[in-house]
């Protein structure tokens, strides 16, 4: 069937309906098209959004151009992507309503999963408003008992209209791989939210009075204040340390000197107290104010040489930044979808590492691969050292391979 209408202003017929196959190809790309609307583009994007929650808008514009032969505006691309996400993952309001049922279902299928709620009363009788929610999966909780006693915490923004925050706690396993421990949705990073999150971590990860832990974080004032309210993270049960990268970053913002920043890092990463003092002297000779600025920070909180082994050599934010990178796509999604993605990510963590773990166990390895790499590097380094050995009547020059 073919229908058309004569366009008198153009002197041409315009096809309005055609039931046969389309075999004509455009010779060049056109800008926009009246029938290429948000709904059509969103339908086209559904599969891509399901596969990758972090699907970027720049790919939307290019893929629409490649698929349909028309360029679309940034605004239309954004609206289409937003509509596709809502079709796949739902909207924030409906997601919050189904979250309690979703959590019950998750706990039923995964016994031992921990979920904690903090709700606020409203002016409507019997109706409460979600304030905070905490969740942790049983394999992660049990896995922490086999890891070093270090917890890294961080907060990340959610790209939703309500601007919530996602708090994350992770650690490192024996093979220097990230193990997610717990998550929480809060309204903002504050003393109250951090205090509640730390209390939940202490309750479920550090239930015994003899548990020891090192908490590593940035300089967020709310977090620093919250530690004073949670005994599990205060000495003698625990200590708080700063990420060296954050110290160096703040140091460089203040003094804007690459040489000083490098010395700051070297000072924090140095394990020998005498060598640390030499580096600090070098900083003082370059800039007295910079030396005094570092002197105002407790040495135990940012240097390995004064740490007493609590932080087990962990200096940077790689743990939490790794999590933030993995969850980047989830930060645009409603809460139930965020919980689901953290679950799938945690499951994938264990699946991917099972084969590696079995290989090490079957080989009767006493240490993980990471430890062996460290031992080999240290052995090679020691082989290049030379030593002066003084006896009663003779002096010898010995190498590390002697």
Q: What percent of the chain has pLDDT over 70?
A: 91
pTM of structure: 0.82
Q: Kindly compute the dihedral angle of the four CA atoms of residues 219, 195, 236, 322, in this order, to the nearest 10 degrees.
A: -50
Average pLDDT over residues 110-118: 97
pLDDT recorded at residue 301? 96
Residue 301, token pair as written in the block: 């909180």
pLDDT recorded at residue 304? 97
As a whole number of angstroms, the distance between CA 397 and CA 402 comes to: 10
Query: Is the predicted pLDDT of residue 29 greater than 70, yes or no?
Result: no
Query: Is the predicted pLDDT of residue 27 greater than 60, yes or no?
Result: no
Let me know: does 332 contact 159? Beta carbons within 8 Å.
yes
As a whole number of angstroms, the distance between CA 323 and CA 170 comes to: 8
* Nearest residue to 89 via CA among 332, 344, 327, 337: 337
Per-residue pLDDT tens digits for 156-177: 888 877 789 999 999 998 888 8
Average pLDDT over residues 18-47: 69
As a whole number of angstroms, the distance between CA 83 and CA 85 comes to: 5
Q: Where are the domains of the chain?
A: 28-89, 90-243+317-365, 244-316, 368-402
Q: Where are the beta strands (DSSP E) in 75-144?
A: 114-121, 128-136
Task: Assign 3-class secondary structure to 324-366.
Answer: HHHCCHHHHCCHHHHHHHHHHHHHHHHHHHHHHHHHHHHCCCC
Give 242: exposed, middle or buried? Use CB within 10 Å, 0-12, 13-18, 19+.
buried
* Nearest residue to 214 via CA among 315, 311, 306, 317: 311
* pLDDT class of 318 with cuts at 50, 70, 90: low
Highest-scoring range by mean pLDDT, 6-20, 96-110, 120-134, 353-367: 96-110
80: Cα within 13 Å, side-chain hemisphere: 27
Give 221: exposed, middle or buried? Use CB within 10 Å, 0-12, 13-18, 19+.
exposed
Highest-scoring range by mean pLDDT, 17-21, 365-369, 379-383: 365-369
């Amino acid at each position: 069937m073919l229908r058309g209408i004569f366009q008198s202003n153009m002197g041409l017929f315009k096809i309005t309906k055609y039931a046969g196959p389309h075999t004509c190809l455009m010779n060049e790309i056109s800008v926009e098209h009246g029938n290429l609307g948000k709904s059509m583009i969103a339908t086209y994007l559904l599969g891509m959004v399901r596969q990758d929650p972090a699907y970027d808008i720049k790919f939307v514009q290019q893929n629409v151009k490649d698929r349909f032969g028309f360029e679309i505006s940034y605004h239309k691309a954004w609206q289409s992507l937003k509509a596709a996400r809502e079709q796949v993952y739902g909207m924030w309001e409906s997601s919050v309503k189904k979250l309690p049922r979703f959590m019950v279902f998750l706990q039923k299928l995964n016994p031992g999963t921990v979920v904690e709620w903090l709700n606020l009363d409203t002016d409507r009788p019997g109706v409460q408003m979600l304030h905070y929610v905490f969740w942790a999966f049983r394999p992660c909780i049990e896995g922490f008992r086999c890891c070093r006693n270090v917890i890294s915490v961080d907060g990340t923004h959610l790209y939703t209209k309500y601007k919530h925050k996602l708090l994350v706690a992770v650690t490192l396993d024996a093979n220097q791989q990230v193990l997610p421990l717990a998550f929480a949705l809060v309204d903002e990073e504050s003393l109250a939210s951090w205090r509640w999150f730390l209390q939940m971590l202490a309750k479920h990860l550090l239930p015994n009075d003899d548990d020891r832990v090192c908490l590593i974080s940035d300089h967020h004032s709310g977090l620093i204040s919250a530690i004073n309210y949670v005994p599990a993270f205060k000495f003698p049960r625990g200590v708080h340390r700063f990420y060296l990268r954050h110290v160096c970053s703040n140091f460089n913002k203040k003094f804007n000197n690459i040489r000083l920043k490098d010395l700051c890092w070297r000072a924090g990463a140095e394990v020998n107290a005498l060598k640390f003092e030499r580096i600090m002297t070098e900083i003082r000779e370059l800039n007295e104010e910079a030396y005094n600025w570092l002197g105002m920070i407790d040495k135990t909180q940012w240097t390995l040489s004064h740490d007493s082994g609590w932080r087990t050599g962990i200096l940077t934010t790689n743990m939490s930044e790794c999590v933030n990178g993995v969850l980047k796509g989830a930060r645009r999604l409603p809460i139930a979808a965020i919980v689901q993605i953290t679950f799938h990510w945690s499951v994938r963590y264990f699946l991917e590492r099972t084969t590696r773990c079995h290989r090490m166990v079957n080989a009767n390895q006493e240490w993980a691969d990471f430890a062996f790499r460290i031992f080999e590097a240290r052995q090679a380094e020691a082989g290049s050292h030379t030593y002066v050995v003084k006896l009663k009547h003779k002096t010898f020059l010995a190498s590390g391979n002697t």
